[in-house]
């Protein structure tokens, strides 16, 4: 999700340099700096060269440092961000550099998370772990759980889509939207991801309820009160 926020900041910078350039620069510098601080304070010096794909190690540090510092540099250089095309090219080159680092230095981290798991363990153990089930498995064997885990995130995404269609889109909507979509995709792979997708969905749902509450206060009537109550009920998971 940190990578998702970073990608969103870079995208916002590409779209609007005047409003997002300083934010992108500061975010990139802070991201790289914090990553370096975490690396040197939590990883023993003897393990600095050990690549761990599922824990913070030289892999995550190298990617975070390059991505953060690169974004800060791109956002700071006027020639690199003067036009939208230049921003696209600059950020694209940074993305290519990140891809090259992963492909050349840490290709093992591109494998599937359970690539090294014994097929017998997958069949006898992993396939029976509740939180590791996918959306498609739940649709077949436990549809009631689908409603409990996926209805709220879906409603949140629908509300954000309606807001985008109606206008008035804000940068915070972009950040919440990309986090919610990514979390939903993760939850479709494994239901455990719904822990985050439900939490992210609370943001647009609470804003929806707040708007109806404002309408009730501005023009109270049984109809608007019922609609506010319906918004409350639909938001409950």
Q: Which residues of the chain have pLDDT under 70?
A: 115-116, 237
User: Any residues with CB less than 8 A from the CB of 173 and at least 6 apart, and which?
Assistant: 160, 163, 164, 204
Q: Note the pLDDT of residue 181.
A: 95
Q: Are 237 and 198 in contact, with CB atoms under 8 Å apart?
A: yes
Q: Are 61 and 39 in contact, with CB atoms under 8 Å apart?
A: yes
Q: Are 31 and 67 in contact, with CB atoms under 8 Å apart?
A: yes
Per-residue tokens: 158:
């629908």
Q: Are 76 and 25 in contact, with CB atoms under 8 Å apart?
A: yes
Q: Are 17 and 23 in contact, with CB atoms under 8 Å apart?
A: no
* pLDDT per residue as tens digits for the range 105-152: 999 888 777 766 777 877 777 777 778 888 888 888 888 888 888 999
Q: Note the pLDDT of residue 237.
A: 62
Per-residue tokens: 89:
């090219």
Per-residue tokens: 33:
């700096």
Q: Note the pLDDT of residue 54.
A: 83
Q: Are 4 and 182 in contact, with CB atoms under 8 Å apart?
A: yes
Q: Are 200 and 176 in contact, with CB atoms under 8 Å apart?
A: yes
What CA–CA distance (Å, rounded) separates 219 from 217?
6
Per-residue burial over 61-87, b if 16 or more Cβ lie within 10 Å, else e, is: bbbbbbbbbbbbbbbeeeebbeeeebb
Residues 11, 163, 158, CA angle at the centre, nearest 5°?
A: 95
């Amino acid at each position: 999700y940190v990578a998702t926020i970073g990608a969103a900041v870079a995208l916002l910078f590409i779209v609007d340099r005047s409003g997002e350039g300083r934010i992108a620069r500061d975010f990139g510098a802070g991201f790289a700096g914090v990553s370096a601080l975490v690396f040197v304070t939590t990883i023993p010096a003897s393990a600095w060269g050990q690549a761990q794909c599922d824990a913070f190690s030289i892999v995550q540090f190298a990617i975070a440092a390059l991505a953060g510092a690169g974004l800060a540099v791109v956002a700071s250089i006027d020639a690199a961000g003067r036009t939208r095309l230049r921003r696209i090219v600059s950020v694209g080159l940074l993305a290519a550099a990140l891809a090259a680092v992963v492909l050349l230095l840490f290709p093992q981290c591109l494998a599937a998370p359970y690539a090294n798991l014994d097929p017998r363990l997958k069949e006898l153990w992993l396939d029976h772990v509740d939180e590791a089930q996918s959306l498609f498995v739940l649709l077949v064997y436990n549809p009631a759980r689908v409603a409990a885990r996926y209805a709220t995130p879906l409603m949140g995404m629908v509300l954000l889509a309606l807001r985008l269609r109606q206008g008035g889109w804000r940068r915070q909507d972009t950040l919440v939207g990309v986090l919610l979509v990514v979390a939903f995709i993760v939850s479709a792979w494994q239901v455990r991801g719904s822990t985050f997708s439900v939490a992210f969905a609370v943001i647009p749902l609470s804003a929806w309820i707040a708007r109806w509450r404002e309408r009730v206060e501005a023009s109270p009537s049984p109809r608007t009160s019922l609609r506010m109550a319906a918004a409350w009920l639909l938001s409950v998971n």
